Amino acid sequence: MDLISPAARDALQNWLTHERALNGVSEATITAYGGDVTSFLGFMTQHRGAPQGLGALSDISIRDMRSWMAFERGRGVGARSLARMLSAVKSFYKWLAKREGFEPTAVLSARAPKFQKKLPRPLTEDAATAMIETLGTQAREDWTAARDIAVATVLYGCGLRISEALGLKGRDVPLPDILRITGKGGKERIVPVLPAARRAVDAYVRVCPFPVEPDSPLFRGVRGGALSPRIIQSAMASARAQLGLPATATPHAMRHSFATHLLNAGGDLRAIQELLGHASLSTTQAYTAVDTARLMEVYDMAHPKA
């Protein structure tokens, strides 16, 4: 039995096209959405004994939703992943209900399982500096050492995602005072470039054995292709083991550290939100970790009744 009816499959593809074109959703998210909703539709076919056309989909009950969620938990899907799946299903149903004219209350009222959010763990300023320095001592060749230092310095000094740092092109050097970065969802933001990041990239370019051409990747692998994120992740894993840092000391932690250290130094949370390219201030708040003593110090200095 085909697990998804042609009408449901067409509706899913149309929704994904809508999300991609009008909401600027990334391809990775589109793929995740497609898998999550396909899994849901397949379950409903087996649960209800027939491929679910659009009419049947509009008639899904709260009990059906509970059965689906119990099935997913039963096959080992964690609370965080199930919450993500439910979010995708709800988004699909909001779109489908508006298009087909039915009431999606049963689906939208399904409650996501509770889970404890993992807060990011930024490095201390000393640990971030040590991480960058250690990356330079463990590489086999001088140019790869300079490359790894440059990548880590850009992550920490500019608050870039690793995909954004590795997306830089030859045309971007020498790094300007301001970088225009296209982040998630095609959103552009302006990021100031610290002199340290500029110097690190210049040092790498001077020793890179491959020509730095306008349309070529700035950061190269040993064979000349675009540098893989896994290489930087592996290099940082070795460095953190050498330094005795926790497993949370990853490339993404350098971005967390950028945000936290700016906030610790008195940076404005909304300005940091812009620098990171977050759509929501709550996301920026989750990225930053300010110790209580520093928070109270700022409070005492800034509060009008202090």
CA distances from 135 to 82, 233, 260 (A): 37, 11, 22
240's tokens:
């953190």
Helices (H) and strands (E) in the chain, counts: 15, 2
Q: Of the residues 33, 156, 204, 287, which is catalytic?
A: 287
Q: Of the residues 184, 204, 220, 294, which is catalytic?
A: 184
Helix (H, G, I), strand (E, B) or coil at 150: helix
140 catalytically annotated:
no
278 catalytically annotated:
yes
CA–CA separation, 26 and 23 (whole Å) = 9
83's tokens:
């919450």
Residue 280 has φ and ψ, to the nearest 5°, of -120, 140
CA–CA separation, 38 and 10 (whole Å) = 11
Q: Of the residues 33, 93, 161, 220, which is catalytic?
A: 161
Q: Of the residues 147, 198, 240, 255, which is catalytic?
A: 255
Go through the chain and tell me how many residues it has: 306
Q: Which amino acid is at 239?
A: A
CA–CA separation, 137 and 132 (whole Å) = 9
Q: Of the residues 147, 198, 220, 278, which is catalytic?
A: 278
CA–CA separation, 10 and 19 (whole Å) = 14
Strand extents, DSSP E, the chain: 178-182, 188-192
Residue whose structure tokens are 């990853």: 250
Contact between residue 263 and residue 272 where contact means Cβ atoms under 8 Å apart: yes
Using only the alpha carbons of the chain, give its radius of gyration.
24
Residues recognised as catalytic: 161, 184, 252, 255, 278, 287
